[in-house]
Chains A and B, each alone.
Chain A
């Protein structure tokens, strides 16, 4: 992997290449008037979702089609709006992780980590080395589990079934490991302000290493099974191309941004927890189409495996949590902390007024921004490619609606 920072610096120079100029309204709003003019057929508005097996939750799209071609699309959210931000204002700081787990529910650890990092910034507490490593370890394991969900369902969107079963097989082992560490399969509630809630169980290192030995082989099998399939390649290559300019205008993050060639990764550029000590690469794509996003995510899984190995090797001795009061009353102030979750930059904007509850708690979900870019990239594609673009962006409605 070449150093992507060079690319970042040249973003301004490449601006002219993009198709999105900031003055244009997004394509979802540039509605083509429907009707018959003697030559064209009547446009049809298709309502896709909220119950649709391929919208990855309760996304609703209004798609205007002319025959098979999508002319305009509008995203409708809110079918999973359950007030994480409002409820956080009545929760103690320790309890924020419970809500964040259910925000981005496939990669719960990252949400907890963001909430914990924001609280620690306000508290100015130093996290012990061991806690930093444990957090990084579980965060990377969660990233693997989350990317496996994306991998399995992305294949389902293209019509394949087998890879889903293989992905779930690996994910079951991962969830067993995470369950042994945290006590739950999905809603871990493990990372707390100041550290983690419990030490690693005895003998978990061997289990993780055994899993990784298998997974190294399985990952290449996964890649060969889906990415090596010519039909899959033909279906995803050149689909849903996002230019750099558009990615920056719509504030994409994570693999969606890196697939366009902008190598920004919170783990490297805003280092937190044990990431400064680890050696890893940030994969970047070049064209920003669905195939690039697929390749970037697959490479991210390989990097996650590397990081998990390094975390286990370098696991220091010591406490698993700092001394944090039972009821946290941080000083007045406002902080922003972000982590690189499986879907992009998950940020927490926290305002404290000195009471045991946050005054304002804002959760930046990267999927909200990915939902916005859908309106822009869908027009011009065929209706059959719509689900593939949704799948390639890896949208999680829990954090888009919050």
Chain B
């Protein structure tokens, strides 16, 4: 289940990714990176000996100060899972990883529109779920409807 943290950091250092912090948390083995080095790190992890060939999931979360994106990787040959985390500023640029993991195509579009990021390097960076003009709904600053609003529909 849990990959060897030192092996992960070794691969990342060999790929020239600096400032990567690999730690074991409640989630599993989590690797925190700078957003700029995510692409290089993912490519190294996919092609490296740990063989993280599946991007199982991609999600973003509004931490209150910035957007934290999580890449959930899985290696089927070694039966291990790894989480890569990076942070993006509000209204910042989310660089697409679709040419490393094709499964990121739609989750990235979804995250970009629901958290208000601009998607860079994506072949089809349209909105996925909502229509034009809908505010980024998953941000903490966007409230849900109140009881009064629902009642006075």
Contacts of A310 in B (CB 8 A): none
Q: Does A232 belong to the interface (CB within 8 Å)?
A: no
- Minimal beta-carbon separation of A131 from chain B (angstroms): 23
0/1 interface trace, chain B 108-148, chain A, CB 8 Å (1 if under) = 00000000000000011001111100000110000010000
Q: Does B152 belong to the interface (CB within 8 Å)?
A: no
In the complex, A359 Cα to B77 Cα: how many Å?
A: 33
**Chain A interface residue number, banded:** 35 or more
CB atoms of A334 and B26 under 8 A apart = yes
CB atoms of B137 and A83 under 8 A apart = yes
In the complex, A75 Cα to B124 Cα: how many Å?
A: 11
0/1 interface trace, chain A 1-29, chain B, CB 8 Å (1 if under) = 00000001101100000001011011011
- Minimal beta-carbon separation of B65 from chain A (angstroms): 14
Contacts of A11 in B (CB 8 A): 53, 76-77
CB atoms of B144 and A77 under 8 A apart = no
Contacts of A74 in B (CB 8 A): 124
CB atoms of A345 and B137 under 8 A apart = no
Closest A residue by C-beta to B127: A78
Contacts of A349 in B (CB 8 A): 57, 59, 70, 72
Contacts of B83 in A (CB 8 A): 336
Find residues 320-350 in chain A having any chain B CB closer than 8 Å to their own CB: 333-336, 345, 347, 349
Find residues 47-77 in chain B having any chain A CB closer than 8 Å to their own CB: 51, 53-57, 59, 61-62, 70, 72, 76-77
| A interface majority secondary structure | mixed
0/1 interface trace, chain B 91-121, chain A, CB 8 Å (1 if under) = 0000000111111011100000000000000
In the complex, A245 Cα to B117 Cα: how many Å?
A: 30
- Among candidates B28, B51, B106, B123, residue contacting A372 with C-beta atoms closer than 8 Å: B106
CB atoms of B102 and A22 under 8 A apart = yes
In the complex, A16 Cα to B77 Cα: how many Å?
A: 16
- Minimal beta-carbon separation of A22 from chain B (angstroms): 6
CB atoms of B61 and A264 under 8 A apart = no
In the complex, A353 Cα to B77 Cα: how many Å?
A: 34
CB atoms of B129 and A12 under 8 A apart = no
Q: Does A85 belong to the interface (CB within 8 Å)?
A: yes
In the complex, A9 Cα to B26 Cα: how many Å?
A: 28
Q: Does A207 belong to the interface (CB within 8 Å)?
A: no
Q: Does B150 belong to the interface (CB within 8 Å)?
A: no
CB atoms of B76 and A26 under 8 A apart = no
CB atoms of B144 and A351 under 8 A apart = no
CB atoms of B138 and A85 under 8 A apart = yes
CB atoms of A372 and B77 under 8 A apart = no
CB atoms of B106 and A77 under 8 A apart = yes
Contacts of B57 in A (CB 8 A): 251, 347, 349, 362, 364
Given contacts A28-B124, A249-B103, A349-B59, are A401 and B76 in contact (CB under 8 A)? Answer: no
CB atoms of A77 and B124 under 8 A apart = no
CB atoms of B26 and A333 under 8 A apart = yes
Closest B residue by C-beta to A82: B129
CB atoms of A250 and B56 under 8 A apart = no
CB atoms of B59 and A362 under 8 A apart = yes
Contacts of B101 in A (CB 8 A): 22, 249, 251
CB atoms of B106 and A371 under 8 A apart = yes
- Among candidates A86, A333, A369, residue contacting B103 with C-beta atoms closer than 8 Å: A369
0/1 interface trace, chain A 245-267, chain B, CB 8 Å (1 if under) = 00011110000000000101000
Q: Does B149 belong to the interface (CB within 8 Å)?
A: no
Closest B residue by C-beta to A246: B102
- Minimal beta-carbon separation of B111 from chain A (angstroms): 10
CB atoms of B56 and A248 under 8 A apart = no
CB atoms of A86 and B138 under 8 A apart = yes
Closest A residue by C-beta to B28: A336
Q: Does A70 belong to the interface (CB within 8 Å)?
A: no
Closest A residue by C-beta to B79: A269
In the complex, A112 Cα to B77 Cα: how many Å?
A: 29
Contacts of A121 in B (CB 8 A): 26
Contacts of A83 in B (CB 8 A): 137, 144
A/B interface sample: 11 pairs, CB < 8 A? A8-B77, A81-B129, A264-B76, A347-B56, A360-B62, A362-B59, A364-B56, A368-B106, A369-B103, A371-B106, A372-B106
List 10 A-B pairs, minimum CB-CB distance, nearest first: A251-B103, A78-B129, A333-B26, A81-B129, A360-B61, A29-B123, A362-B59, A249-B102, A334-B27, A364-B57
A77-B129, A336-B28, A369-B103 known; 9 new pairs, CB 8 Å cut-off, are: A23-B99, A77-B106, A78-B131, A90-B144, A249-B103, A333-B25, A359-B61, A371-B106, A401-B129
